[in-house]
Structure 1
Amino acid sequence: MLGLEYFSFVDLWSPLFLAVMLLLVAGYFVLIGPLAGWFPGSTSVPLWRRGLFVCGMIFLYLAQGGPLSLLGHLMFSFHMVSMALSYLVAVPLIMLGIPDFIWRAALRVNPLQRLSFLARPIVAALLFNGLFSLYHIPVVHDYVMLHFTIHRSYYAVLFLTSALMWWTLINPLPEHRMVDGLGKIGFIFLNMVLLTPACGLIIFADHPLYATYSDPDTWAQAMGYCVAGNPTALLQAFGGPTFFGIMSPKVDQQVGGIAMKFIQEFIFASMLAYVFYHWYKKENGQEDAEASMPSSELEGGRLTRV
C-alpha cells in the first residue's frame, strides 16, 4: 500500500528507534513507580495521566520512526502530517503525562532555571513557529533533509521549542504559571497567526518547491538516510519520488500545507474552547459567589450595606 511493500521491516519500523522509545517508556514507569519516593511531594500517578504519556510516545514513534516517517520521505503530504503529529499532538500528550512532582524536580535543575526566559510566552511562540517556518523555506528544507546529523539535530530543537510553546498552555504548576485566562487565549491566537505564512507559501505556490520530493537525484540521496541500500539502486528501482505519488508533486505539496494548517487549527481551536470555557466559568463563579453573600459581610472596598 502506497509503495510500502517495497521496503523491509527495518525500513518501515526502525527497530533501534523503537527500542529507544520503549526504554524511555520503561524509565517513565520506573520514575513514577519504584523511584517515586525520591521526589518530594510525590503522589500516585492516575491511570489517565499514564495513558496520555504512552499515547504521546506512540504518536512520536509512528511519526518519527514508524511507517509514517518513511511515507514522509516519499510524499510531502505525509511529511506534514508527521510534523503535526510530532509537535502538535505527541509533545502535549507527553507533557500532560508527566506528574507535577517530576516537573518540580526538573525545574530545580540549575541550567533549566537559567534558560527559563525561553519559556516566556512570546519568546516560546516566536522560537517554535520561527524555526518551523524557517525549516520549510525550500533551500533550508532540502539542505536539512540531505544532511543526516543536521536533520536529527533540527528535529530535536523543534521538539524542545514545541515543549516550550506548549508549556504556556498546559503548565500544571501554579507557581510557574506566567499567563492565565485571557492571556492564554491571546497566546493561542498568536500561535495560529504565526504559522499561517509558512502554510500559505506551501499551499499557494504555483510549482513544486522542494527538490526532495520532485528531483529524483535529491530524493534518492535523502532516502539513503532512512532506508538501507545504495541511493543509486533506489533510482534504478523506482526512478524517483513520482513512482510512489498518488498525486502530482504540486498537488501533494498543497495537500500537505492544508493538512498541517487544518490539524493546527483543530488542535488550537479545541484548546481555545477549553481555555475560554474554564476562564468564563471561573469569572462567573467568582461573581456569583460575591452576589450570594449578605451585604453586611462585604466591606472594605468590595461591597457595603446600602
Structure 2
Amino acid sequence: MLEIILDEFHYSTLWNGGILIYIGFIFIVYFLLLPQDKQYPIWKQVTFVLGMLAVFAALGSPINVIARIKFSYHILQLVLLLLVAPPLIVIGFKTEIFERARRIQIFDKIFGFLTKPVVGFLTFFILFYSYHIASVFNFARLDLYINYFFMLSLLIAGILLWMPIVSSKFLNAKKKRTFTILTILFFVPYSLVLLLTDGSLYLVYTDVELFMQSLAVCMPNIRELPPEFAAALLPFNPTEEQMQGGIMLLISQLVLFGIALFFAPKYSKGN
C-alpha cells in the first residue's frame, strides 16, 4: 500500500534538493576550508560523511514524507537524526577550528558553556519533550519552517548531548558511564508513553483535515487531488504505529547508548 501511495508523489517531493544542497555546502567547508593536519585519519572523514548522510536520510529522503503518513517513520527520523548522526559527526569533525577560536576569550567562554555536559543534557531533553507535547507537535507539523527549526535544533542539541559520551575531552570513565545511563533513563519515559497510551497522541495522524494540512507542507498541490486519494493515505492504524514507534525508539536507544557505554572507558578523560 505504501508503495502505491508514494507513486502519487513527485520525485522532488520525495527527495529534498534544498537539504542536499546544504549538506553539499557542509562537505565543501569540511574538506576544503576547515584547517586540519594533513595526517587527519581517513576513517574519521568517512565517519563524518556517514553522519551527514544520516541527516540527509532523516530530513531529505522519502523517510521525511513517509513520516507524515506513518508515525513509526517519524521515530525512524529521530533515530537517524538524534542517535545515529550526532555521534558520527562528533567523532569525525575536524576540531582545529574550535581550538583556534578558543584563543579568543569570548569564544572560549561560549564554547566552554555549550560543551558542559549538563548544558547539552538539559537542552536536548527540554527540546525533545517540548516538541513531542501533543499540541506543540501538531502545530509544528503544520508549518514547514517551524518543524525544520525543531528538527535542526534537536540535531544541534543531539550533538551537544553526544559530545561528552564519544569524546575523551570532557568526562572520566566513571562520569561518562553515569552520564550515558542517565541519558538512557531519560529516553525511556517517552518510549513507555508511546507503548502504553490507549489511542493516538497526535491529531495530525488521525484527523483528516490536519493530516492533509500536514502533507500540504511538503506537497502543496495535494488539495487538488480527489478525496479518494486523501482517504487512501490513512490506511495505517495510528495506535499500532505509535506502539511500533515506542518499541523502535526503546530498542534503538538501548542498543546505541549501550554500545557507547561499552566503549566509554576506552575513550575517557584522563586515560
Aligned to 1:237: 229
Aligned to 2:88: 93
Consecutive unaligned residues in structure 1, runs of 5 or more: 283-306
CA distance in 2, matches of 1:60, 1:101: 23
TM-score, L = length of structure 2? 0.90
Aligned to 1:286: none
Per mean C-alpha deviation after superposition, the further-off stretch among 152-161 and 270-279 is 270-279
Consecutive unaligned residues in structure 2, runs of 5 or more: none
1:226 to 212, 215, 218: 218
The 1:278–1:159 alpha-carbon spacing in structure 2 relative to 1, beyond 3 Å, is closer
- Is residue 156 from structure 1 mapped to residue 142 from structure 2 by the alignment? no
Whether the 8 Å contact between 2:195 and 2:246 is mirrored in structure 1 is yes
Whether the 8 Å contact between 1:133 and 1:195 is mirrored in structure 2 is no
CA distance in 1, matches of 2:265, 2:180: 11
* Residue 230 of structure 1, CA deviation: 3.9
CA distance in 2, matches of 1:87, 1:149: 19
* Residue 118 of structure 1, CA deviation: 3.5
- The CA deviation string for residues 114-140 of structure 1, in whole angstroms up to 9 with x for no partner, is 363233222321221221122112111
State the percentage of identical aligned residues: 26
CA distance in 1, matches of 2:192, 2:223: 32
Q: Report the number of matched residues.
A: 266
* Residue 277 of structure 1, CA deviation: 5.6
Please tell me the root mean square deviation across aligned C-alpha atoms, in Å: 2.1
* Residue 8 of structure 1, CA deviation: 1.0
CA distance in 1, matches of 2:179, 2:191: 19
Whether the 8 Å contact between 2:164 and 2:171 is mirrored in structure 1 is yes
- Is residue 147 from structure 1 mapped to residue 143 from structure 2 by the alignment? yes
- Is residue 59 from structure 1 mapped to residue 66 from structure 2 by the alignment? no
CA distance in 1, matches of 2:216, 2:239: 23
- Is residue 202 from structure 1 mapped to residue 194 from structure 2 by the alignment? yes
* Residue 111 of structure 1, CA deviation: 4.5
Aligned pairs for 1:9-20 (under 5 A) are 9-20=11-22
CA distance in 2, matches of 1:195, 1:126: 12
- The CA deviation string for residues 51-107 of structure 1, in whole angstroms up to 9 with x for no partner, is 011111111101111011111111000000111101111111112111232342354
**Counterpart residue type for residue 13 of structure 1:** W
The 1:111–1:233 alpha-carbon spacing in structure 2 relative to 1, beyond 3 Å, is farther
TM-score, L = length of structure 1? 0.80
